[in-house]
Structures are given as C-alpha cells and as structure tokens.
Structure 1
Amino acid sequence: MTLVLDTQVTDSEWAQIVDRISRRRFFGGAAGVAAALALSACGTSDAESDSASDTLPYTWGEFSGDVPRDPKRVVVLDGRVDLEFAMMMDYPIVGSGNFWFPDAKAGFQFPGRTIEDASFVNVAGDFSTNFEALLALEPDLIVITAIGYTSDWYGTERLSSIAPLLVVGDDVEPIAGHPVDWRGALMAQASQLDRVAIAEASIAEYDDKLARLRPMLQEKLGGKKIVLGVQTPTGFLVHQRNLRISVAIDAGLDVLFRDDDNAENSFELSFEQLDTLAPADVIIAQARDQEALDAIKTQPTWQRLPAVQAGNVLTSDARYNQGFALTAAIFLDVLEEAAGRITAGQ
C-alpha cells in the first residue's frame, strides 16, 4: 500500500516515518546487510568522503545553501520548470512530480526527452508529497521551484531533511525589451552550479531555431495582434508577462495587452467580458482541461470574436507558460503552427 503524506504530519510522526523507512531500506534484504557489514568493516572510503564534501554554494531568491556538484540521484517535485532545469543541467533524474497528467511519463512534454524509468513522488492534481516514495528513491538532490519553496507547497523542512535542496526559477528582473529574462535566469543559476557550457548550448539551440523561423513568422504574423492566455471554466486569463510573450517578442511579433511591469503577470476576463479580446487577430489559448474548452466555446461573446470567426484560435498545452530554452523552443513550434493557420485562412 502506498502511503501518501501531506504537510500536516507531526514532527514526531515524521521522525518515526524516516526511521522506519530508512531501517527497512537499509536492513530489509541481503544487499542491505552486506552493505552494513562492508561499511562496518571498511569504514567510509576517501573517494566517498571527497564526493560527499564536493558541494557548491548556491543562492536563488529566498534560498541559500550548499548543493552537490555532481548529484547522482535527482528528484524534481513539480515536473515543469524544475524538471526542465534539471534536464538542461544534465542531472540524472530518478523521480519527478506529475501535477498535470496522471498517465504520462516524466518529461514527455519535451519531445525526445521522456525519462522512461523515473518514478513519481506525488498524486497527479495534488501538491502533497508522497514521502515514502521520495525516500525510497534515495535522492542526493531535490530540485524545487522558487514559488514552491516560498509557498511551502511540498513541505520544505521535511524535504531538506532528506537531501539538499536546489531552488530554481525562470525569471530575474526584466531587461529592456523582454518581460521575462529566462536566459539571464538560466545563466545565473548555471554559473553557480559550474555548468555554464551546458546552459549556453541549450540557449544556442533555441537561438538557431529562432533564426530559422523568425523571417517566416514575421512574414505571416507580423503586424497581427496576438493574444496569449488560458481558457478557464469561468472565462479567459489574459497573459501580459511570461516566457511565451518573451518568445513572441524574440520573433518580432506584437502581443496585445503586454505589460512588462505587471507583477501579477495577467488579468482575468469573465465570459461577459470576452469582447475585450475583439481587437485580436490571433488567439493562442492554453487549456487547463476539456471542461474549460467546452465551456468557453458555448459562449456567445466568444463566438462573436473576429479571431474565433476567422478560425484563428490555436489551443496549446497549459504547461508551457514557464521554463527555459526547451519550453521557448516548443513555443516557437506553436507560433509556426499559428502562422500556418493564418495562411490557410487567408
């Protein structure tokens, strides 16, 4: 039976759980006994000692701590920004959160990068951490998003008692002309982890793709007013500041309602307010679920929109609001598909 524990477990209960699972894992089989005997006979090798002490100081946002230079067993807790970052740092990922899709494998949203043998450490649709599953993976590094850390979504104190934490985020202070500086965020974090070359290679791949697609995107979508947002069960959340808008700007496109200074990053329209989107030539909407898709399509205010009537509405994956080079490259594909749709409708 799988034991799912939320953050309401008491400290004494948590201590008992860690002790019970650690004892079972270490002494539960012949391999564990053999390992115990070997350790008691030989002690800790110099190589193991050096490896354990090979850490790097790291700071991001409200987090500061030491992280291993070369972790061997990495777990990420959300499965989006943290997973992408760990992938780009070439970390060996053994476990992941799977907040969005219960039947999917870790990393499947990044083409060609599915992690076939990574286990899940939460229940899809729930932030609660399955600590027993997490402990069983024996991580030596746990990667967590900055918002997950500051909001304590996953039980930060208990997580830090299992393995060192690495807190990551995809945004720093905006630079001129870009609402989200994901490049700067990636490089600032990678430099602390001594993995600059890996990060630069990922950025270069995105830039190559951008250079290839930008002329066509400007030809087909240049001068068009584009709205980016998320369909919800009660309306439409208009994005004003996120990675997708930065990618559109890289491509030389015009994003309606863009606001680089909006700390909230978006604003929400009810079904009755959807006529606010009337100036849009193209709507690229992310859908949280089928319920949201079905609900908005029945609304007269949605059906009257010029972009809807022209067939210039494209629905994309709801996980691609945030990220780094991999997500940015995927959104270039979405823009390419939107350009094809516009062309077909003309």
Structure 2
Amino acid sequence: MSRHALRTGALRGTALLAAALVLSSCGSDSTDDTAAEGADPTAGSSEEFPVTVETAFGDVTVEEEPTRVVALGWGDAETALTLGVQPVGASDWLGFGGEGVGPWAEGLYDEPPVIIETLEPSLEAIAALDPDLILDTRSAATQERYDALSSIAPTIGQPEGVDQYQTSWQQQLDLVGQALGREEEADEVEAEVDQAFADAAAANPGFEGTEVAVAAYTAEGFGAYVSGDPRVDFMQQLGFVNKPAIEELATDSFYVPVSEEQLPLLDAGLTVGFPIFVEASEITDNPLWQAIPSVQAGNSVVLDDQTLTNAFSSGTAPGIQYALENAVPQFADALG
C-alpha cells in the first residue's frame, strides 16, 4: 500500500482532509515547556537575514525576517509555533479543528490562523493572506505543488533526497529554524527532545535491543510500519529494534500491508497497535490478534487514546514529548 493510499483511508471522514498520514498513518484532504519557552514572538532577529535554505527543489533565499508565514506541511505549524512564530495560515492535517494543532500546542496563537486545505491547498486563499514565507517541509512534495506555491512566496520544501511525507522532526526543525532565522532556538528544542528520549531510555533499560512490531489498523485492515516512519523512529530512539522480518518487506513506503493470515508477523518482544479512525476494540476483539504470541503473553499495547495516537502521528517536537510522557509508561508495563 502506498503512503498516499494509507493516508486516504486513515483520515476518511474528517471534514478538512480529503486523503492522507505520519508520518505518518493519516488521511485525507498541551503545551509543553519547549513550546511555551519558544513562544516569545520577539525571539528572532532581522540581523539573521537574508538566509538561504537548501531544499529538494533548490536553494531558497529568504530576504527578510518573515512576518506572515503560511504553514502548509505536516507539522509545520506546530514547529513554527514551538520556535515562537505564529503562522497566519496553516493546514490541519490531523483534523484537530480550531487552531489546527494538537493539545500540546494549544494556546500558542494570539489569533487563530486561517485553515488551508491539505492535499489541494487553495492558491487563492494562500495568496489572499499575503505571505512572505510558505512552509511545506512535509507534504506530497511534487514539483507542481512547489512551483505553484513558490509563485506566491518563497517556499521551503523537504530536504534533498527525502521522499514524500518523510521529513523527520529533526530535519523539519532545521529547515523551519533556518527559514525563520531561529536556528539557535531550533537547536535548543532538538536538544531538549533528545534529552527526553535519553532519560526515558535510561529509566527503562529493558527497551534496549528488544524487538518491536509497530502495527496500525484502519478500515482497510492491518499494516506494519518500517524505519522512516515517525512511530518506528520513536521506538528506535528509545532503544527498541524494529522487527527485521518486517523491515525486509519494506519498499519505498513507510508501511507494509499485513493480511489477517499474516498477523503472526506482528509477534515481537513488544507489539504496539495503533487504531486509526477505528475503535481500539476492533483490534483487541479480533481473535487473530488475540492469537499472536506476544499478545497472549501480555507483551502488547493497543493505544486507545486518540490524543496519544495523534501525538505519535504529528511527528513534531511537542507531539513527541507528549507521547514520551504518556506512552512510555504503557510500554514499560507491557514488558514488565
């Protein structure tokens, strides 16, 4: 299943998304300390400009400090907010509603942004906002999309060599930090998140080297994530090893389909299930899921809190910190 196909199925039914991820399993078209500290709108300096940012579409020069930013890519708005910049327009990839950000980033806007469609953003709506910078670091990443956006304002796409939707949270921080003239703040945020991972891993030495299978269940069935997806990257940064038998099935997608007959593939030292716009009971009540040895042994977690699954899917620094605080204890209990 391609990344686009999974996103289309996963966020079906949300009004603002026509198809979609997570980065990361998504679909259609909480403020933490880091976000709060980064919310000072005076933190940037015009002395940083002009800046030139290297992207997959070539070098992009931002002549002056942006004051009207439109954040279109997956997680771009939360990343800008974390660095103290409030977009005037933004896309709501996960269908949060309101300001279009997760609860871990609520309260960082003085005024809510204009919400822009995700997969097919309205060029007229974007141009009407008179942007001086467009962030599109994690998206469909087509030349056509980039050309259309860059005709309105300097546009920061994904890094060179990175596929659709696969910009990591670190790369996103780096790109957005450069474009906003806030590289120092971005470095500080990255260091804080890395330290949070290190602290969680140190507190749970049993994670190191343990094989994990990270699965999703949508209306289209089961699948497993592979390296490059933020959920797997999250587990790996805690010390887990993504199950090699799953990694061997990887193609150019972040996800491999798993038929019900193949569910034993999800047996691992720890099996983690993500219900994507379905009830968690559709996983836990499935007799074939119940037959997986790791599930029978109690070494499994099915995340039944939508906010927590969205935190994983956000692939942003504040979302990741929310997931660390709320998911790591569940993983520890399952292994205990």
What is the rounded CA distance, in whole Å, between the counterparts of 2:94 and 2:71 in structure 1? 14
Pairwise mapping of residues 153-192 of structure 1 onto structure 2 (< 5 A)? 155-168=145-158, 182-183=169-170, 186-187=173-174, 190-191=177-178
Contact 1:106/1:116 (CA < 8 Å) preserved in 2?
no
**SS of residue paired to 1:212:** helix
Is the alpha carbon distance of 1:271 and 1:97 closer, same or farther for their aligned partners in structure 2, counting shifts above 3 Å? same
Paired residue type of 2:213: V
1:132 shift after superposition: 4.4
**Could you say which structure has the larger radius of gyration?**
1
For the pair 1:264 / 2:253, whether they are aligned, the reply is: yes
What displacement does 1:204 show?
A: 1.7
Deviation at 1:199, TM superposition (A): 1.4
- Structure 1 residue 271, shift from structure 2 partner: 2.2
Is 1:150 aligned with 2:142?
yes
C-alpha displacement of 1:217? 2.2
Deviation at 1:237, TM superposition (A): 2.0
Segment of structure 1 superposing worse, 316-325 or 236-245: 316-325
More helix by share: 1
CA shift for structure 1 position 253 = 2.3
Give the superposition deviation at 1:193. 5.7
| C-alpha displacement of 1:317 | 1.6
Change (3 A) 1:192 1:289: closer
The CA distance in 1 between the partners of 2:284 and 2:233, in whole Å, is: 28
Q: Quote the residue 2:62 is aligned against.
A: 67
Provide TM-score, normalisation by structure 1. 0.66
Partner-residue secondary structure (3-state), 1:198: helix
The one-letter amino acid paired with 2:237 is: D
* Higher RCO (CA-CA < 8 Å; seq separation 6+): 2
| Match among 72, 79, 85 for residue 85 of structure 1 | 79
- Following the alignment from structure 1 to structure 2, what is the Cα–Cα distance between the partners of residues 269 and 249? 21
AA aligned to 1:283 is T
Unaligned runs of 5+ in 2: 1-15, 19-45
Q: Alpha-carbon deviation of 1:290?
A: 1.9
How many residue pairs get matched? 281
CA offsets 1:171-223 (integer angstroms, 9 cap, x no match): 869xxxxx99754664466457643211111012113322322222224x446
Look up the match of 1:10: none
Deviation at 1:72, TM superposition (A): 0.6
Structure 1 residue 96: deviation in Å? 0.9
Of all paired residues, the percent bearing the same amino acid is 22
Q: Is the 1:56–1:192 contact (alpha carbons within 8 Å) kept by the matching residues of 2?
A: yes
Whole-angstrom CA distance in 1 between matches of 2:256 and 2:179? 35
Q: Which residue of 2 aligns with 1:101?
A: 95
State the Cα deviation string for residues 294-315 of structure 1 (Å, max 9, x = none).
5444533112123434272232
User: Secondary structure, in 3 states, of the residue corresponding to 1:148?
Assistant: coil
Aligned-pair RMSD on alpha carbons? 3.7
1:303 correspondence with 2:290: yes
TM-score, with structure 2 as normaliser:
0.68
Please name the residue that 1:237 is paired with.
223
CA–CA distance in structure 2, aligned partners of residues 239 and 194 of structure 1: 34
Shift in CA distance, 204/146, structure 1 to aligned 2, threshold 3 Å: closer
Deviation at 1:318, TM superposition (A): 4.6
